[in-house]
Amino acid sequence: MNSRILIVGQPTEIRETLRNALQAPEWELREEPDAQAALDLVHEYSPQVILAAVDMLDVTSFLEQLRSTREAPVVVLITPPGSRERAIQELRAGAHDYILMPLAPEELRYRVSCAVERKRTLDAILLQLTQAEKMASLGRLVAGVAHELNTPIAAIYSNSDVLSRSVRRLMGLVSDLPPSAEKREIQAVLEVLSNTSEVDCIACERVIDVVRNLKTFARLDEAERKAVDIHEGLDSTLRLVECQFKSNVHVSKDYGELPPIECYPNQLNEVFMNLLVNASEAIEGQGIIKIRTRREGDSVVITIADTGKGILAADLAKIFDPGFTTKGPGVGTGLGLSIVYKIIQAHGGTIEADSTMGKGTTFTITLPLAASQRATSVPVPEPQPHGG
């Protein structure tokens, strides 16, 4: 994925210098001379780095408004030689670095690379914290729900069983009575009680199954890596989220023969949940969600495809970026697919998205059967000196 860099408030000659120095396949540049227009563009463009002119805009006000946005890019100030003190002041206000003019291309590229890496590190740490808190909250929720449901359901289920056995015994006793109107009336009442008890037992079994699926989804007792059945995780997650599916959404499963795979089960279940819910929300009319699994060599390939509205080609490269969402303000947080990407990466796998507008989107996950035991913490680069 290309790193997006926004150039703000620079005079024409400086913009040209920046543009020439930062021409590289891995960097995508946008320019906006006006600071307010740049703030509006931040929401649409989601830059990782902003190169701002320290002497052409009210940097303090700009930084304050920027902090209120969800994107929170790294801000590097382009600073004339006589404005070093002001740049240092703006560092205290929230800027991350400054570069003194005249601009040496090699130094500029190095400092921008450091800024991009810093943004990636900050995003990775945010994702880890968000994921950890989310899973901890989910674990507490599931534990509470399971506890609150298990006790009353166990009592109801036990009482229903006692009632069923009692009704059967009474029916046996009544059957020995001579024929009469009273006997027929008693048998009819006992038949109603028997049917009611049977319905109660079936309802209890359904609630017990929901609790079991919640436990399987969250894997409260499986925080460590272990070998599990991927299909079990897919099925339990599907049962939990299908209540969110519209009646016009049909799910098609094509499971291959898979051996157990080493993973963190609760994390993979979170991946499946995000992709299945997104697929359902993308379908506006009648549609299908197709889940397919296959073994390919020493890897497992899982595809989740929908026949929804699709994703714009311009957005496809940004869907895994933290904070990016196509759901509109107040609807999506822009963290779901970022967490998905991070989880799959931590498992030593890959995830790719392919989409055609009007036809749908396919996510392809590839996971090794025996994931490496490498550390999943995010390395923090050494801080770079400011200015100079």
pLDDT, mean over the chain: 80
Residue 324 has a pLDDT of 63
In the three-class reduction of DSSP (H, G, I as helix; E, B as strand; rest coil), residue 272 is classed as helix
The total of other beta-carbon atoms located within 10 Å of residue 377's CB is 10
Cβ–Cβ < 8 Å for 237, 202? no
Q: What's the pLDDT tens digit per position in 231-261?
A: 998 998 888 787 777 678 899 999 999 999 9
Indicate the DSSP class of residue 104: P
Cβ–Cβ < 8 Å for 73, 112? no
Mean predicted confidence (pLDDT) in 63-75? 78
Q: Report the C-alpha gap between 300 and 49 in whole angstroms.
A: 36
Q: pLDDT: is 148 or 357 the higher one?
A: 357
The pairing of strands 226-228 and 261-263 is: antiparallel
Residue 229 has a pLDDT of 92
Cβ–Cβ < 8 Å for 15, 31? yes
Peptide bond between residue 102 and the one before it cis (omega within 30 degrees of 0): yes
Cβ–Cβ < 8 Å for 282, 306? yes
The total of other beta-carbon atoms located within 10 Å of residue 367's CB is 21
Q: Sheet containing 3-8: which strands, arranged edge to edge?
A: 27-32, 3-8, 49-53, 74-79, 97-100
pLDDT category at 379 given cuts 50, 70, 90 is very low
Q: Report the C-alpha gap between 112 and 387 in whole angstroms.
A: 13
Residue 377 has a pLDDT of 34
Q: What's the pLDDT tens digit per position in 116-147?
A: 888 888 877 776 666 666 666 666 666 677 77
Residue 355 has a pLDDT of 92
The pairing of strands 299-306 and 360-368 is: antiparallel
Residue 39 has a pLDDT of 83
CATH classification number, 226-368, choose in 3.40.50.1000, 3.40.1710.10, 3.90.550.10, 3.30.565.10: 3.30.565.10
Q: What's the pLDDT tens digit per position in 259-283?
A: 999 888 878 888 998 899 999 989 9
Q: pLDDT: is 357 or 81 the higher one?
A: 357
Q: Report the C-alpha gap between 231 and 132 in whole angstroms.
A: 24
Query: Over 90: is that where the pLDDT of 350 sits?
Result: yes
Q: What's the pLDDT tens digit per position in 6-56?
A: 888 877 888 888 888 888 888 888 888 888 888 888 877 788 898 988 776
Cα 86 to its chain centre, rounded Å, is: 40
Q: pLDDT: is 377 or 371 the higher one?
A: 371
Q: pLDDT: is 298 or 132 the higher one?
A: 298
Cβ–Cβ < 8 Å for 78, 87? no
Query: Over 60: is that where the pLDDT of 381 sits?
Result: no
Cβ–Cβ < 8 Å for 212, 149? no
- Percentage of the chain exceeding pLDDT 70: 82
Residue 360 has a pLDDT of 94
The pairing of strands 261-263 and 360-368 is: unpaired
Q: Give the residues across from 79 on adjacent strands.
A: 100
pLDDT category at 326 given cuts 50, 70, 90 is low
Residues 6+ apart with CB under 8 A from 291: 234, 238, 251, 252, 253, 254, 255, 302, 303, 304
Nearest CA among 299, 230, 295 for reference residue 269: 230
pTM of the model: 0.49
Handedness of CA 145, 146, 151, 153 (dihedral sign): positive
Residue 375 has a pLDDT of 33
User: For residues 155-173, b (16+ Cβ closer than 10 Å) or e, as one string?
Assistant: eebeebeebbeebeebeee
CATH classification number, 3-103, choose in 1.10.3720.10, 3.40.47.10, 3.40.50.2300, 3.40.50.300: 3.40.50.2300
Residue 201 has a pLDDT of 84
Nearest CA among 264, 207, 265, 277 for reference residue 231: 265
Q: Report the C-alpha gap between 259 and 300 in whole angstroms.
A: 9
Residue 64 has a pLDDT of 81
Q: What's the pLDDT tens digit per position in 154-205?
A: 888 888 888 888 988 998 898 888 889 888 899 899 988 888 888 888 888 8
Q: Which of 93-97, 265-269, 316-320, 346-350 has the highest mean pLDDT?
A: 346-350
